[in-house]
Structures are given as structure tokens and as C-alpha cells.
Amino acid sequence: MHNTFVLVFVVLIAVGFDFTNGFHDTANAVAPTVATGALKPRTAVILSSALNLVGAFLSLKVAATVASGIVSQGDIIMPVVIGGLIGAIVWNVTTWYFGIPSSSSHALIGGIIGAMIAHAGSSAVLWSGIVGKVLAPSIAAPIFALVIAAIATSLARRLTKRSDDATKSAGMRIGQIGSTSLLSIAHGTNDAQKTMGVVTLALVANGTLAQNSATPKWVVLICGLAIAAGTMIGGWRIIRTMGQGFTKLSPTQGFTAQITSSVVILTSSHFGMPLSTTYVATGSILGAGVGTRKRTVRWKLAGRVATAWLITLPCAGVCGALAFYGQRAFGVSFGVVVMTAILIGYCSFIYYHSRKDKINADNVNDKWGEHSEAFEKPLEPVEEPVKV
């Protein structure tokens, strides 16, 4: 297939996905750091953005196997990739609007599954792969993180009970900056490579690149820049949910949550069972809340987030399938233009509505309940002082 016109759109949409991936996942690395005041919100986001960019260049072992083991690789065609990317962007933007931390990787997998079912039927989907690569890790990740963070928080609280508050808070905040940095680099390496894989696949499918070619430098650069730019924008709504919504984090809790996230994510990568960064980070924050004496956690909010996780795959799948049918209805070249226009329109609509209750670096740490989440009940303050 040689269609440079479509290829350009694939690259643009892939970069768009990378951008939404960046701002959607900023919270995973920076939410506790912002919530505890270890870094100013803007500084935290800039640091994370720069380290995401560094991460994108650290490892170039791009496995151009997006959704490998989940859909039949031989049936993947360009409109399926485009449909998958559009489905993932729509889901990322929607969940961002509601401040829900959900997995960008699962949104992409869901989008591709939906587009693939629309293209080749359900037999092209390897359902066993979904259980092993999506469902099992989705359940395991937050549970592992929650349990470890709860035990770690409880121990840290007891061990530092007789330390003076100023030293304790300062020490934990320094630790948070370190773990934020490590998480940001890991995210840049992990997630920018996903998009590099998609673009490389498209280039190979178009005949622009030979099979098994190395990823071109310009692909690495634009993917790294896109994820860094997305991170720099800062998904403040999700940062707010993770930093203020689940529980009121003290520096000790913030530190234990971030160390737990870093360790679980890096360990799972090491053993070849990559767990979703978002699920791990969410589980860690919940665990940090459970580990306090009063166990102050908003479980209703956690339940809503878990529900969103459950519907990520089917919802992104429906969007992916619709995007595929749209392309087929209008023909591949014109279809991709129409679908891109609809996507831009939808993103603009969501952005316009988000301005009505704008969350940014200045108000991200406002007391929970002062914005659109006003129906939530306030929590009791934790026993440890947050500011020194």
C-alpha cells in the first residue's frame, strides 16, 4: 500500500494520541508530589515533562507490536490502526474531562480490538491474550500496589513517629522528588515507544520503510516531543483527583505511594509482566490512605474510577469500531479526513466544556469539594501536618 496522504494522517493522529497520553498520565508521576507541596505544581510538571523526553531517548528497543498477542497481526491494516488511535484519543479525552485516571495503553488496545472486530470479525481477536495481558494485570496491579503502600505507610509512620516534623516532612519530600523523576523517565521510555511502534508499523505498511528497519530518528524525536508537550500541559483534572480526591496526602504518604509505584512498575517490567502505570499509581495512593491511623479514603470515588477501568476496553472499542466504519463509508483517504475532523471537533467540544470549571496549576490543590466534585463529602484531616 502506498498512500502518503493517509500515512501523514496516521502520523498526525499517532502524535495526537501520544500528546493525550502525556497529559493523561502526568498525574501518575506528579500527583502526590504536587499534593504534598514537595514541588510547586508548575515545577513538577516541567520536571516530569523534561524527564519524559529523556526517557523517550533512553531505550530504542521498539517492539513494533502494538496489541501483539491480542489481535491477529496479519489482519492489521491502516484503517484499523487509525480507528484504534481515534478510539483511544476519544476515551483519553473523555476520562480526562471527568478527572478519571484510566490506562492509555488499555484505551489503545480497546480501540484496536474494536476496529479489528469491525474489520475482520471477532475471530481476529485473541481473547486469551486479553485475559493474560489486560484483565489479569488490571486486577493485580492496583491490589499489589494498595497492599504494599498500606503496609509501607503504616511502617513509615511508626518508624518516624518520634522524628521531628520539619525533618520528616523535608526528608519525605526530597524522596518524593527522586521517585517522581524515576517514574517520569520510566513513563517516557514506556509510552513514547508505544507510539513509535505505531508510526513504524504505518511506515512499514506503506512501504516507506523496509520490514525490520530501525525506527527513524525523526519518529523518536516527534514522539518524545509529543509526550513531553502533553505532560507539560499537565492533566490537572486527573492530578487533582489523584492528589486530592482519594485521600489527603501527607509527605510520608506521598513518599510511600510514589516509592511503591516506582518499585511495582519497574519490577513488573523486569519480569516481563508490565502492569498499567495508572492502575499502580492509583492503587498506591489508595494504599497510602489505608495505611494511616484513620484510614481516610473516599471509596465511592475509587469505585467510580474502578468502574471506568472496567468499561475502558469496551468503550474505546466501540469508538474504534465507529472510526473504522466511518473510514469505510467515506473511502480510506476521504474517510480519514472526515474522522480526523470529527475527532478534532469532539476534542474542541470537551475542551470548551472543561473551561467552565477550569482546573490548573493555581487551583489544583484546592480543597476537595470546591469544584465540580462538590457533591463529595469532605474527609477528616490526617494526623500528620502537610505544611511545615
Q: Which is nearer to other proteins, 102 or 253 (CB)?
A: 253
For position 28 contacting other proteins by CB under 8 A, the verdict is: no
For position 65 contacting other proteins by CB under 8 A, the verdict is: no
For position 214 contacting other proteins by CB under 8 A, the verdict is: no
Among 39, 259, 308, 382, binds other proteins (CB under 8 A): 259
CB of 338 to other proteins, least distance (A): 37
Q: Which is nearer to other proteins, 108 or 264 (CB)?
A: 264
CB of 182 to other proteins, least distance (A): 5
User: Which of 89, 71, 77 lies closest to 17 in space, CA to CA?
Assistant: 89
User: Which of 378, 23, 47, 22 lies closest to 236 in space, CA to CA?
Assistant: 23
Among 4, 65, 123, 131, binds other proteins (CB under 8 A): 131
Distances (CA, A) of 44 to 39, 48, 360: 6, 6, 13
In order, the DSSP letters of 52-114 are HHHHHHH-------TTBTTB-GGG--HHHHHHHHHHHHHHHHHHHHTT----HHHHHHHHHHH
Among 144, 236, 246, 309, binds other proteins (CB under 8 A): 144
Check if the beta carbon of residue 197 is closer than 8 Å to that of residue 65: yes
Region 163-192 residues binding other proteins, contact defined as CB under 8 A: 163-164, 167-168, 171-172, 175, 178, 182, 185-186, 189-190
C-alpha 201/C-alpha 166 separation (Å) is: 52
Task: Kindly determine how many residues on this chain lie close enough to bind other proteins according to the rule CB under 8 A.
Answer: 51
User: Which of 18, 24, 386, 28 lies closest to 182 in space, CA to CA?
Assistant: 28
For position 228 contacting other proteins by CB under 8 A, the verdict is: no
Rama region for 289: left / alpha / beta (φ>0; ψ in -120 to 50; rest) = alpha
C-alpha 26/C-alpha 188 separation (Å) is: 10
For position 100 contacting other proteins by CB under 8 A, the verdict is: no
Among 58, 233, 311, 361, binds other proteins (CB under 8 A): 58
Residues lying near other proteins in the complex (CB under 8 A)? 55, 58-59, 61, 128, 131-132, 136, 140, 144, 147-149, 151-153, 155-156, 159-160, 162-164, 167-168, 171-172, 175, 178, 182, 185-186, 189-190, 193, 255-256, 259-260, 262-264, 266-273, 275
